[in-house]
Amino acid sequence: DIQMTQSPSSLSASVGDRVTITCRASQSISSYLNWYQQKPGKAPKLLIYAASSLQSGVPSRFSGSGSGTDFTLTISSLQPEDFATYYCQQSYSTPIFTFGPGTKVDIK
Amino acid sequence: EVQLVESGGGLVQPGGSLRLSCAASGFTFSSYDMHWVRQATGKGLEWVSAIGTAGDPYYPGSVKGRFTISRENAKNSLYLQMNSLRAGDTAVYYCARGFRYGGNPSWSAFDIWGQGTMVTVSS
C-alpha cells in the first residue's frame, strides 16, 4: 500500500507569510496527487489536482508542485481565511485512495 | 446547485449495523464515481469505499467484508451499509463525488463533498 506523509504536522504563520507544506509518497505516484483544505466543522475542499492544477474558484495564491514522491503546496501570501488543515491525497492506486495525515496552519 | 446531503448517522452498539444515505442533486449522478470518506474526531481523513459508474465497489482492508457501498441512480442516491460496527468506526462520514479530469482513472479527485453525518459506536 502507498503511504503518505506530510511535514510539518502543524505550523504557525502570520497573515502575508509565504507557507509551504510538503507531502511525500512511499513510492512514486507520478503526478497523481491532490490537495484539500479543511476548516473546523466543515467538509474538505479540493484545492489542487494532478499535483499542480488549480481547482476552479480557488485563489491563485495557492499553488502545487512536484512529481514522483515529493510534492509541495504553497500559499504565496497567507490570508485570514487560509487558516485550516491541509491534506494531500494520492490517486495513483485508484480505486484505492490514501490521504496524508494533515498539516494544521494556525495563527502566529 | 450541485449538492450532496448525507443522512442516517446515529448511535449504535458495537456489533450493530447502520445504513447511511447520500442524496445527490444538481448533476448527472449516474455519470460519476462516488466515495465515502470518514474522519474520527480530531483525526485525519480516511477513504472508506468507492463505487464506479457501473456499480463496481472498492474498499480498504479496514472495512472490507463489513461495509457495503451501493448506488441507486434512479433515485440519485448513494448508500453505505455498515455491519459489525466497532468503536473504531466512530467518525463523521462524508460522501464525495469522484471528479475524473483525464482519461486515465488515476486522474481522479474528490470535488464535491457533503456536510457529513456522525456515526457513534458505543455501548
The pLDDT tens digits for A30-73 are: 999 999 999 999 999 999 999 999 999 999 999 999 999 999 99
Three-class SS state of A82: helix
Per-residue pLDDT, A108: 86
Taking the CA of residue B109 and the nearest CA in chain A, the distance in Å comes to 7
Nearest to B78 by CA among B57, B59, B63, B107: B57
- Structural contact between residues A19 and A79, judged by C-beta atoms closer than 8 angstroms: no
Per-residue pLDDT, B105: 81
Using CB atoms, pick whichever of B105, B108, B113 lies closest to residue A44. B113
Query: Cell numbers 449495523 correspond to what residue?
Result: B17
- The set of cell numbers assigned to A94 is 485508484
Taking the CA of residue A9 and the nearest CA in chain B, the distance in Å comes to 11
- Structural contact between residues A96 and B47, judged by C-beta atoms closer than 8 angstroms: yes
Residues of A in contact with B47 (CB under 8 A): 96-99
Using CB atoms, pick whichever of A32, A95, A99 lies closest to residue B45. A99
Q: Which pLDDT band holds residue B103 (cuts at 50, 70, 90)?
A: confident
